[in-house]
Amino acid sequence: MKVTAVLLGVFGVLAALGADSAKKDAADVKVIVLRLEHLKFDAQHRKDIAALNSMLDDAVMWVDPNGALFTKAAYLTAVHDSNLQPEQIVPESLTVKVFDDIAIVVGIYDEKGLNAGHPYHQRCRFIDTWAWKKGKWVCIGATATSVIS
């Protein structure tokens, strides 16, 4: 948890120092946003509420693989209170498209763990939308759907 928080802090400072170039250069944006995606999955795995709180915009719209819509507060509460104990959340096949101040990430994540003591496995395709706001990249929209029949 501390490692993620430190990484996010360092990353935030670096992003702020190179704010203009990070914002304008699409290649840089792809690297930054991909790194943030990995940090986001790591935070979900560890149930690191502080890290998730710093990555999600206050007005984020979060849709889970069951089609339920969450606000930021509701999502963080759900992660905190969840019976799920993820053993691994592995992102795959990530692609990033940059549109000026917006980056769209599409990929798949493979999640395994225990749900109230019982093993579970879900494989989902996801789309996350990141926006450049107040000198940093934040997630403003996240949605996922199961790709296991």
Residue ranges that bind another protein, judged by CB under 8 A? 57, 59, 61, 63, 65-69, 95, 97, 99-102, 104, 106, 125-127, 129, 131, 133, 140-147
Q: In angstroms, what is the minimal distance from the CB of 6 to another protein? A: 28
Q: In angstroms, what is the minimal distance from the CB of 48 to another protein? A: 24
Q: In angstroms, what is the minimal distance from the CB of 138 to another protein? A: 9
- Nearer residue to another protein within complex by CB, 50 or 104: 104
- Nearer residue to another protein within complex by CB, 14 or 59: 59
Alpha-carbon distance of 100 to 127, in angstroms, equals 18
Beta-carbon count within 10 A of 116 CB? 9
Q: Which of 46, 65, 47, 39 has its CA nearest to residue 139? A: 39
